């Protein structure tokens, strides 16, 4: 096998947020196997005449299994010099990179990881929210709402005790269950929360709320993530102060102007 596979992070969807190395590889690629979350604006940067292969997994529409995606990467490396496996966000953050690296190692295909801006960083930057803060938020925890074994993948009680900011990827429509888990985990009901949908895209939406109000919100369009912690308070809205619980509807209206 003469080809090399690059697991490339496409970032949150804005082409301006691609790394220079990612852009160079897109312009040199013979084959690009891309996820569903990669935007058309980024795909238009791919070298003309390169083969584009949609291997994206959408909710309820997993037309390719992970093993089939692995096989397509390996087959492409048999004839192509530069194979780009293009992933939304960063390949190493909930991107199944471990499974793909294992498959490539098993058959001896050379590969390289090219990091991208993960959704948590992009969403926080757009909302001007610091994920860490010297005033108590000394750590941040990235969590997925979807564990492979079906269990809820995190103990919110231990996280709440640590004071860490929590970023929950792919909450889907389970905000009621998330709110319940946070309450069981003794996270204070007034703890600020921020829901960001389609971070850094033209249809981006932000919803400022708190743990108490999570079960009553209308789930935004996917992809979305949820930031939980005192750093997530809306500093730019007139009523949003550390001492006043946030009214999600009013702050949402201010944020979407």
3-state secondary structure of 17: helix
**Active-site annotation holder among 35, 87, 90, 210:** 35
Q: Which of 242, 46, 30 is nearest to 136 (CA)?
A: 242
- Give pairs for 130-137: CB < 8 Å, separation 24+: 130/231, 131/165, 131/167, 131/227, 131/231, 132/165, 132/231, 133/230, 133/231, 136/163, 136/230, 137/163, 137/164, 137/165, 137/229, 137/230, 137/231
**Active-site annotation holder among 4, 21, 57, 230:** 57
**Residue found under tokens 């789930």:** 219
Cβ proximity of 240 and 207 under 8 Å:
no
Ordered strands of the 82-87 beta sheet: 51-54, 31-34, 82-87, 4-9, 110-114
Q: Which of 45, 39, 52 is nearest to 198 (CA)?
A: 39
Q: What are the φ and ψ backbone dihedral angles of 115, each rounded to 5 degrees?
A: -70, 155
- Residues shown for the chain: 257
Which class for 149: exposed (0-12), middle (13-18), buried (19 or more C-beta within 10 A)?
A: exposed
35 catalytic per annotation = yes
Cβ proximity of 12 and 202 under 8 Å:
no
57 catalytic per annotation = yes
Q: Which of 38, 32, 36, 46 is nearest to 12 (CA)?
A: 38
Catalytic residues: 35, 57
């Amino acid at each position: 096998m003469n080809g090399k596979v690059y697991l490339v992070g496409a970032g949150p969807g804005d082409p301006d947020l691609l790394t220079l190395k990612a852009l160079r590889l897109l312009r040199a690629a013979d084959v690009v196997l891309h996820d569903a979350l990669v935007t058309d604006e980024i795909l238009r940067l791919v070298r003309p005449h390169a083969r584009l292969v949609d291997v994206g997994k959408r909710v309820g529409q997993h037309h390719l299994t992970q093993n089939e995606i692995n096989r397509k990467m390996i087959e492409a490396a048999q004839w192509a010099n530069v194979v780009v496996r293009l992933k939304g966000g960063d390949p190493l953050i909930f991107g199944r990179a471990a499974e793909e690296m294992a498959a490539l190692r098993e058959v001896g295909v050379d590969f390289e990881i090219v990091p991208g801006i993960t959704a948590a960083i992009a969403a926080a930057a757009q909302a001007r929210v610091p994920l860490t803060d010297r005033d108590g938020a000394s750590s941040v925890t990235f969590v997925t709402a979807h564990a492979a074994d079906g269990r809820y993948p995190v103990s919110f009680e231990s996280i709440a005790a640590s004071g860490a900011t929590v970023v929950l990827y792919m909450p889907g429509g389970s905000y009621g269950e998330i709110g319940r888990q946070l309450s069981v985990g003794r996270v204070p009901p007034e703890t600020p929360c921020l829901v960001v949908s389609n971070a850094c895209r033209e249809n981006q939406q932000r919803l400022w709320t708190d743990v108490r109000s999570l079960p009553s919100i209308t789930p935004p369009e996917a992809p979305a993530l949820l930031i939980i912690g005192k750093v997530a308070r809306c500093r730019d809205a007139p009523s949003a102060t550390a001492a006043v619980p946030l009214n999600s509807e009013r702050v949402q209206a201010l944020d979407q102007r």
